[in-house]
Amino acid sequence: MPSTIVCPQCGLKMRVYRGAGTRIDCPSCRKSLKIVRPERTRASAAKNQDPPSTHDWYYRVMGVEVGPLSLEALRRDFRAKKLGPDAQVRMGTRGRWVLAETVRDLQIDRRGEST
């Protein structure tokens, strides 16, 4: 089951599929982060049961899921080269993973540039 973590340096919210005790580098600022076991509270359990907004976007970088992001934030990360046209992206937590270049809303041309 994935954990959601927030980078303390840059504030990037990520969904991580690695176990507690492992380390990852933040895909945004490259700070080394240790994955800790999340504390399960009633508030967090209720939050996890809320249906996701259909306007939340996610992308994967080196096994780390980044998001939720607005479409504009996803475009900004693409322009900043945090993900390329061959990156996996999805809309919402239940969306199907697809290549970024196939998402019309990202407006990526064949050279991998945002228009």
Domain boundaries, the chain: 3-106
User: Tokens 């927030």 correspond to what residue?
Assistant: 6
The predicted structure's pLDDT at residue 99: 87
pLDDT of 109 > 60? The answer is no
List the end-to-end C-alpha distance of the chain, in Å, as a whole number.
36
Reading the block at residue 65, the tokens are 């899921």
Residue range 27-35: mean pLDDT, rounded: 83
Structural contact between residues 20 and 33, judged by C-beta atoms closer than 8 angstroms: no
Highest mean pLDDT among 41-50, 56-65, 102-111: 56-65
pLDDT at 41: 46
Query: Which among 90, 33, 94, 44 is positioned nearest to 66, based on CA atoms?
Result: 90
Predicted TM-score of the model (pTM): 0.52
Asked if the model's pLDDT at residue 69 lies above 80, the reply is yes
How many CB atoms are located within 10 Å of the residue 103 CB?
Answer: 18
State the average pLDDT over residues 61-86.
Answer: 87
Band of the pLDDT at 1, cuts 50, 70, 90? low
3-state secondary structure of 28: coil
